[in-house]
Amino acid sequence: MAITGLTTICNGSSTALTGTGAVTYAWSTGSTATTVTVAPTTNAGYTVTGTDANNCVASATKTVTVNPLPGVAVNATASTICAGTPVTLTGSGAVTYVWSTGSTATAITVAPTASAGYTVTGTDANSCSKASVKAITVNSLPAVSISGSSTICKGNTATLTASGAVSYVWSSGPTTTAITVAPTSSAGYTVTGTDANSCSNVATTTVTVNPLPDITTGLAGVVITANQSGATYQWLNCNTGNSPIAGATGQTYTATANGSYAVKVTLGGCSDTSSCVSINVVGVDENVNNSSVVIYPNPNTGIFTIATEGKGYELNICNFLGEKILSQQIQGEKIEINLSNQPDGIYFLEVKTDKGTAIQKVSIQK
């Protein structure tokens, strides 16, 4: 009479014990089957009494040893994290490990973006296994954003305001919700926002700086020219508080009265105003500053004579748009000028003598 079967098991497992050498069996568990399945939680003995065909009776006893399960546990560097933050999970209490991620390392590092549970199954030297689960709570990152002016003119400021978090740190240093910046060239600004869960996220914006237009002017006679081309213009009367001059929106302005004038130039959405330019030669037909310059004939067909009291003077001639068409030295007391290739119109002669500057109008009529 004998008992066969696995006699060493892990707690929570079962084993099948089979009686041999008889015809009928009576187990200490009360079963009369040839084989019984048992699942003891501690070491236990099992006896079977067998009767053969001759009604002879014999007994056999077998002890089943129960090994405890390993005390498997999972330790985590953090049980609550911000989305995307790495956390290390370490198994303990066993000899070998298998994680739900597939890893067989003792420790794994994960960076979940949503709350999740991680399971490790540990096996000890007796081949007994137990599983342990670690839940990781994941807090979402704050939706940080920046609002404010993205394009400014050079010399202006932009106010940038962060939102979506509780506290902020800007790349430029401030820890306020809003900052005022005045970049001289296009620049990027980053803010890091942190919420009530200590989770942080970043937002970036670029402030584009448009250059100011060229606001210098040129003066020829009564014609003022804004040096910035391709812009929009508004001429102003400085004598009346820089009030706009109706209809004066070209690149040049011809003064109709003595006074002081400026221009507001706008280019690419940026505007600036020039310095005021004084004009006091409107209607001048005679020499000024007591210099003696005579032009004849006037009007003419483009050919005329300039007579002065001396020589070595500087002569400049500009058309009505302020464009210089002639510049030369006067070598004698008389000089003949030929502008017959110029269109009809009013021209301005500027003669710089030792007594001052003379400005006169010349009318060409063909």
Distance between CA atoms of residues 110 and 136, nearest Å: 10
Q: Please, how many CA atoms are within 13 Å of residue 87, restricted to the half-sphere of its CB?
A: 26
For the chain, the domains span 2-67, 73-139, 145-210, 217-279, 293-364
Q: How far is CA 168 from the centre of its chain?
A: 16
What per-residue confidence (pLDDT) applies to 294? Answer: 86
Phi-psi region of 290 (alpha: psi -120 to 50; beta: other; left: phi over 0): left
Find out if CATH 3.90.1300.10 is the number for domain 2-67.
no
Cβ-Cβ contacts under 8 Å for 183 (sequence gap 6 or more): 152, 158, 207, 209
What per-residue confidence (pLDDT) applies to 331? Answer: 84
Q: What is the CA radius of gyration of the chain?
A: 52
What per-residue confidence (pLDDT) applies to 321? Answer: 66
What per-residue confidence (pLDDT) applies to 332? Answer: 83
Per-residue pLDDT 10s for the chain (366 aa) are: 899 999 999 999 999 999 999 999 999 999 999 999 999 999 999 999 999 999 999 999 999 999 999 999 999 999 999 999 999 999 999 999 999 999 999 999 999 999 999 999 999 999 999 999 999 999 999 999 999 989 999 999 999 999 999 999 999 999 999 999 999 999 999 999 999 999 999 999 999 999 999 888 877 667 889 989 999 999 999 999 999 999 999 999 988 777 899 999 999 889 999 999 887 665 544 444 445 688 899 889 999 998 888 788 888 998 866 788 999 988 888 899 999 999 888 888 888 877 777 777 788 886
Among the CATH numbers 2.60.40, 3.40.1350, 3.30.2250, 3.40.50, which is that of 145-210? Answer: 2.60.40
What per-residue confidence (pLDDT) applies to 282? Answer: 56
Structure tokens at 306: 């300039």
- Give pTM, 2 decimals: 0.60
The DSSP-derived string for 194-229 is: E-TTS-EEEEEEEEEEEPPPP--EEEETTEEEES--
**What number does CATH give the domain 293-364?**
2.60.40.10
What per-residue confidence (pLDDT) applies to 286? Answer: 42
**Same-fold call for 73-139 versus 145-210:** yes
Q: Per-residue pLDDT tens for 320-350?
A: 667 889 999 888 888 999 999 998 888 888 8
The CA-CA-CA angle for residues 35, 41, 43, to 5°, reads 75
CATH superfamily placement of domain 73-139:
Immunoglobulins (2.60.40.10)
What per-residue confidence (pLDDT) applies to 285? Answer: 44
Cβ-Cβ contacts under 8 Å for 343 (sequence gap 6 or more): 364
